[in-house]
A = this chain, B = another copy of it.
Amino acid sequence: MERGAGRRKAKPEQRAKKARPRKSRASETAEKEASVNEPGSTARVPAPKRRLSAEDRRQEILTKSIEYFAKVGFDGGTRDLARHLGTTQPLLYRYFPNKDALIQEIYKVVFFDQWKPQWDELLADRSRPLRDRLQEFYEAYTDTILTPLWIRIYFFAGLKGEFINERYIKLVEERLLSRIVREFHLEKGLEPPETVGDRDLEIAWDLQSGIFYYGVRRYIYHARTFLPKNEMIACALDLFFAGYGEILVRRQRETAAVALPAKRRAGRQRKVSPA
């Protein structure tokens, strides 16, 4: 260790305030595009050097960082990020103490400032058929979630081992999937379970997975999909309603059969069931 210590290049005077025309903005990175012009004469206006209020700058860094990291992942360099911002790299450190703090802020914005309260109302509105509610909900929900930005940030975070995803998963299970199970029971005239069963939750995950994975196929695998988004949602809901309905009917039949083991008339009772 102590190996890389002998740096001290020791050419201290050579800095030299050269007469070069003060090539603004990140000399080390802007080099390339600057060299297109002739070095002396029309040296390209120095890119006005925007001076923003602290608040605005912070916001801009945040939103542009999300774009950048969504593209290249959180291992993307701060210099490259600064280039995408149109500023210089040390500026980042005026607004965020270090790279990880910036990333944590991104998680917060992307994952937890997105759920719209009106979605809760929409899902709970029993004056409308559940099928309609879910179609409308998923169309809106996927408008924000099924985007390259959101999905890629989400997976970069997950693969990095952030606990953020676990928290988000909980949110989905509590706010959405458990609710779907309960509402579905209600609409079928069944007693909604006070605590949602494991099997039912996994079934609801099947619905969620089908819809979400459509976005994964598009924005992570860059594979082609075969239906427009909203038709895909309708398709997934068709499958879910038909399938889950049938599963509940069968379950009903079974428990009924167990509840009346002696009395049941031998062969009959094929598909009626008291729903």
Contact = CB atoms under 8 A, between A and B. Distances in A.
Interface residues of A, number: 54
Given A73-B159, A159-B156, A246-B243, A236 B206 contact: yes
A239 to B, nearest CB: 4
Interface stretch (A11-19, A89-97, A215-223, A255-263): A215-223
Interface stretch (A56-64, A99-107, A185-193, A197-205): A197-205
A213 B208 CA distance: 9
A143 interface: no
A152 interface: yes
B244 A239 contact: yes
A232 interface: yes
Interface of A: 1, 3, 28, 31, 73, 75, 152, 155-156, 158-161, 163, 165-166, 168-170, 198-199, 201-203, 205-206, 208-210, 212-214, 217, 220-223, 225-227, 231-232, 235-236, 238-247
